[in-house]
Structure 1
């Protein structure tokens, strides 16, 4: 990867983060950069540092999980977590010093 391009990307991210007024906005900037506009169940497990089984349990119990969209029915259904919902969840649950 071109070092100049990497530095430009880092500068753009730093500028976006510095202009984000709230924790929520900062999470949106970071999540969008890494994941686009939606997050899979596996990606959410990585973000929350939990296992996919824990994510499955939280979905089943509808507890301590960001709002999601279920695509399909039955065991083949997939779950899509919009970054806005994940950013809201993180800003409400992650404590910062």
Structure 2
């Protein structure tokens, strides 16, 4: 079982950045943030796509998707779980 703590910390930092960025920056960055949230949700096994609920909720969507993925990872073992965690951390880092 991989430790999801780094994932949660990175996702929360990014989510907070989205929550506090100026509206002009948020408008530019929101599509990428939404895609990240959707990627994290898919990695957790979600079957429904995260909806586009507007730029102002993207930070929350990232945080929720990361928490869902962390729960999935705590119940997983093996190299696949480690790869999913590494991929998620990479995706977060690339958006920063």
Which band: TM-score by shorter chain? 0.3 to 0.5
Whichever of the two has the greater Rg, that structure is: 1
* Greater helix fraction, Structure 1 or Structure 2: 2
TM-score (norm 2): 0.34
* Greater strand fraction, Structure 1 or Structure 2: 1
